[in-house]
Chain A
């Protein structure tokens, strides 16, 4: 300490300070048990959803051997009357299809005898064998087929993606809800705030870190589900990436809400609990009320978050109403993906702005 004191250091720009804040916030989460807990939840949920159906006699794929086909005479619009044998599975591997007529193999012969027709219709696969009109078909007693079938990526992914909105809430509770309020309650603000760093910079670094942690966990979930889908459903749904993007948008919106709550409250526990219950129970109850009242509440962020899983469905579900008698109607509302994206964006932007203002004004008193 005997050395001469030289000119002091140049304070970095606000923008250059953000990554520093971000890094040490990330380090905080990596060293806390919260990341482990979140990963454990991901592991358990993935295992349960993936392993339970096969355990309960509902595997993801298999081979149907010599299944009897119900043959109908139909005009499928091609002008040529055909015999149609429909297959009672959503997705089958056409390459493995073998047809037997009265126990004898009856090959396709490049479409001379029959062709395999597969298409998506109303969210359900439509798989059928179209038999060419010929003599044999008119006097057979039984037609059977053997084929490999599998779960289509859409329904495979739907099993898992329904959990994403809860996973987002878990992430936000673990990685965002007490990020701001902790500096006040744990008195670490006394160390951090007297530095030449703007509150807005601290806010940005912290917010980015909270979102990063959520993206890591949610991204891992989507990644593993995609891998499982390739293995068990022979591919990934075409809307899967859109679902992921909506999930990230929901994560950002929920983080902004958590920050807002956290900048209003004094204690970390209160902030954690209120954030969790608001997103997990209070808003969903509001959404539930709309089922009976018939009022579509598009401004609810949890309602908008429904789009994360609906987007997988082809076609996208439409609002409907069911009369259950005694003057009661039950409504099913679905957010349109565009509206959902806008609503979540608004929550993100407004939540951020409000909590930033509150955080800047908050005093480290007492």
Chain B
């Protein structure tokens, strides 16, 4: 279990993390979602004892990372940014170094090391000095070392960043397979689709503040914001556009081309039906009326916009 309580980190003027309170329950996979600069890495760095917090608490399995980092991190595997490796060691030697620090016997490390390198498809490189491995290889190795000691908690900072599309798919598959093994996973990402695909819940953060934290399922149902594309058989005059703009629950209406406009709408399905009727009352002959884009994406964009 991971608990963040009123966690705050100030970098001179910037509040990178702002009074963040969040709990990742055991055996859950939580996506830590936010655009670049939202404060994801900063939060994870505090959780992994790389930087200190300005105030608040970060607790892993009931142990405060700030006051007792060694005990708190005992059962944790982490990938923070794309770590660099010691270029003079091979992947297997790296695992032996880290495994010994984590209390594994050489035999355990060799056995587990084969498994985890296999898991991230690095087996063929296990005896090659890391030296100039590509970023993708390092990223996969980073995941392998995080899994090595079968920790209860996995903390992954943008685990697919820097990978090519195939690598991204592979890493996502790896994480999905880990979910079946009872890991508690806290994974940051700026990609909504990735979080939706992998995680049970999403915690949305922007400018260091937690905006929303809920299960993916629940988020999907509560999402009311939608973009609706409206197509007509004739050009839409400007006065009708402004009329649409001021209709109830309409956030905005923008012309895409003379006969098509997109309405950003924040309302229930019932209210949406009313919207269609109201548009038709303006004398427009509607030939198409359909949602565009995914509702969660809309919400993500909207929330980020609002919190600016």
Contact = CB atoms under 8 A, between A and B. Distances in A.
A35 to B, nearest CB: 12
A186 B131 CA distance: 12
B80 A10 contact: no
Contact of B86 (A24, A198, A365): A24
A365 B16 CA distance: 12
A20 B101 CA distance: 7
A11 interface: yes
Interface of A is mostly: loop
Given A20-B97, A32-B88, A10 B52 contact: no
Contacts of A190: 50, 80-81, 83-84
Contacts of A17: 100-101
Given A11-B74, A363-B52, A364-B51, A188 B101 contact: no
B266 interface: no
B182 interface: yes
A55 interface: no
B70 A191 contact: no
B6 interface: no
Interface in B85-99: 85-86, 88-89, 93-94, 97-98
A194 B119 contact: no
Interface of B is mostly: loop
B216 interface: no
Interface in B134-183: 142, 145, 149-152, 155, 177, 181-183
Interface residues of B, number: 48
A364 B80 CA distance: 11
A364 B50 contact: yes
Contacts of B151: 8
A195 B81 CA distance: 15
B197 to A, nearest CB: 20
16 contacts: A1-B118, A8-B75, A8-B149, A9-B103, A11-B74, A190-B84, A191-B83, A191-B85, A192-B98, A193-B50, A194-B78, A196-B71, A197-B101, A363-B50, A364-B51, A365-B50
Interface of B: 11, 45, 48-52, 69-71, 73-76, 78, 80-81, 83-86, 88-89, 93-94, 97-98, 100-104, 108, 115-116, 118-119, 142, 145, 149-152, 155, 177, 181-183
